[in-house]
Amino acid sequence: MVYLVTGGAGFIGANFVKYLLKKHNDIKIIVLDNLTYAGNLGTIKEDLEDPRLIFVKGDIKDPEIVNDIFERYPIDYVVNFAAESHVDRSIENPQIFLETNILGTQNLLDIAKKHWSTGKDDKGYPTYKEGVKYLQVSTDEVYGSLGETGYFTEETPLDPRSPYSASKTGADLIVKAYGETYKMPVNITRCSNNYGPYHFPEKLIPLIIKNILEGKQLPVYGDGSNVRDWLYVEDHCKAIDMVLLKGRKGEVYNIGGHNEKKNIDIVKLTISTISRFMKEKPEYRKVLKKEEGDLSWICDELITYVSDRLGHDQRYAIDPSKITRELGWSPETKFEDGIVKTIRWYLENQDWVEEVTSGDYQKYYEKMYGSR
Ligand code: NAD
Ligand code: TYD
């Protein structure tokens, strides 16, 4: 099988590329990524040496580049991870979110349709090459925000609140439209918040880890009571692979691990885990950017409550029973294990953090949080 993985130099896309290379032998993967601030070749450095992987630097909105890829390689699957993905940035500058997330998706669909079409059926609908599929990687944020109870199912009405989630909803609707109007073989997956290695440190968990190691304050929005449903990234990758191979054409699948946590609890758990690591394994202390002392400064006093995010969604929680029932997927990594694995990965991969946060990141951080 030949995969076109867009956004494969970003957090989840890169983890997916690594997952595919480990799981399947006889594959070819074309990664298309234009390497925004969030995409880094360092993330797939070792994978680039694998002869099964080809990297193309380019924009998903660019018809020529995407067309050229389809002309050169017999693409079977398109898995679209490429997106502007950070809610806070979408509040600052919505336009690029609409351009990349909606128009980029439409461009990929158009070119896939052109190359996959084999003719027309008796009602005039296009017919397609056997076995091809377009999978849109979406988010639970398209469903809006929950109160204290209830879960998002695939039938929950779409109700996005942020420019980011509105753009992802727009993209989902375009994918659905191509599935209905042109009978294209498509799937949409809607996953909850991911965590794990290679997560860009503007998102909550890696940002908190980075700040603790630097002895900086930990910015918690509002009162810290917002709830997210966390899933280890490899479990997400496994679900996407299953939907590609076995998902029913045209269907939406929610992906989540029944693992709801309040932000403040995530922050406190990260502090206590790092503090424990530093005590148990003194060799980790070399990554601290602050004078170690007695390490008592690695404590909840680092937490600082800052102004709330505009339109901050209160709670996300996924009901994943459809993908469990139909495809046999269930999350394998318990949060207690996943968060320890993740924190250990960051302690052992500070070179990666430094590489991806040089330049643009500093400007963004200062704008968002000042020089705290
Ligand atoms: P990310 O920001 O880490 O990576 C996005 C990647 O897309 C980067 O490599 C970037 O360079 C690339 N990209 C951006 N614009 C591009 C363009 N115009 N052309 C080509 N490449 C472009 O994002 P992520 O967290 O890995 O998320 C991947 C996908 O999963 C996104 O579609 C996101 O909406 C979705 N998602 C993310 C989460 C999460 O918790 N991170 C949860 C559910 C769904
Ligand atoms: P984030 O990782 O940006 O993911 P999303 O907004 O897509 O869920 O944020 C996760 C939660 O953490 C969200 O409720 C906002 C909150 N948050 C903070 O409290 N402080 C921060 O510095 C960041 C980046 C997020």
Ligand 2 atom closest to Cα of residue 202? 24
Q: Is 178 a residue of the active site?
A: no
With pLDDT > 90 as the criterion, what percentage of the chain qualifies? 94
Indicate the pairing of strand 186-191 with strand 133-139: parallel
Question: SS3 string of 258-285?
Answer: CCEEEHHHHHHHHHHHHHHHHHHCHHHH
Residue 369 binned pLDDT confidence (cut-offs 50, 70, 90): confident
Angle, helices 11-23/233-246, rounded to nearest 10 degrees = 60
Whole-number Å distance, alpha carbon 238 to ligand 2 midpoint, is: 24
- Dihedral (C-alpha) 328, 329, 335, 340: value to the nearest 10 degrees? 120
pLDDT in tens, 270-301: 999 999 999 999 999 999 988 778 899 999 99
Q: How many angstroms separate the CA atoms of 271 and 260, rounded?
A: 18
Q: How many angstroms separate the CA atoms of 5 and 11, rounded?
A: 13
Phi, psi (degrees; rounded to nearest 5) at 325: -65, -50
Ligand 2 atom closest to Cα of residue 193? 8
Among 33, 47, 84, 141, which one carries the catalytic annotation? 141
Asked if residues 279 and 244 have their Cβ atoms less than 8 Å apart, the reply is no
Mean pLDDT of the chain: 96
Instruction: Give the pLDDT of residue 118.
Output: 98
Q: How many angstroms separate the CA atoms of 243 and 234, rounded?
A: 14
- Ligand 2, atom 23, lies closest to the CA of 204
Q: Read off the pTM.
A: 0.97
